[in-house]
Amino acid sequence: MKIAIGADHAGFEYKKAITEFLQEKGYEIMDFGTDSNEAVDYPDHAVLVAKAVNMEKADLGILICGTGIGMSIAANKVKGIRAALITSSFTAESSKTHNHANVITFGSRVNTIAEVLSFIEIFMKTKESNETRHQQRVDKIGKYEVENE
């Protein structure tokens, strides 16, 4: 499984820790920066990760900024992306079961790195629900996206 990862200056330390954590588990990581605390614009990194997922070069995207909010807003502008901001074990699980998230975002100023790694573990082991109501809602997200083009 290939995972695209990106961060801004507020998230790059978390990106490093998440990358090591996932590589140890055998995941292949595609790193889209940034790699220092020099200020960058989070949408520039969000779009690179989101496009890798949209083009099926990666199976999942992970984005980190200070809040996780900017990254999720920016990633959701890319076609086919369902980016979820995860702040708890509950949202880690339900973003997979209910929303079939293909990009997950985190805030380095919201959760500790230990919490974020535990949320990622929960997300990875959770399966998308194929119950009709969830699938129907996810399908509608894609449908509305096309209608608004």
Tally the residues of the chain. 149
The correct pick among 69, 113, 124, 141 for binding ligand RB5 (CB under 6 A) is 69
Residue 123: both structure tokens together: 């997300």
Longest C-alpha distance within the chain, in Å?
A: 46
Question: Would you call 9 a catalytic residue per the annotation?
Answer: no
Residue whose token pair is 């990633």: 75
Q: Is 13 helix (H, G, I), strand (E, B) or coil?
A: helix
The correct pick among 70, 101, 104, 123 for binding ligand RB5 (CB under 6 A) is 70
The correct pick among 66, 113, 118, 126 for binding ligand RB5 (CB under 6 A) is 66
N-to-C CA span, the chain: 31
CA dist 54 and 56 (Å) reads 5
Q: Which residue is nearest to ligand RB5 (CB)?
A: 70
Min dist. Cβ of residue 129 to ligand RB5 (A): 29
Min dist. Cβ of residue 131 to ligand RB5 (A): 32
Q: Does 75 bind ligand RB5 (CB under 6 A)?
A: no
User: Where on the chain is the footprint of ligand RB5 (CB under 6 A)?
Assistant: 8, 10, 42, 65-67, 69-70
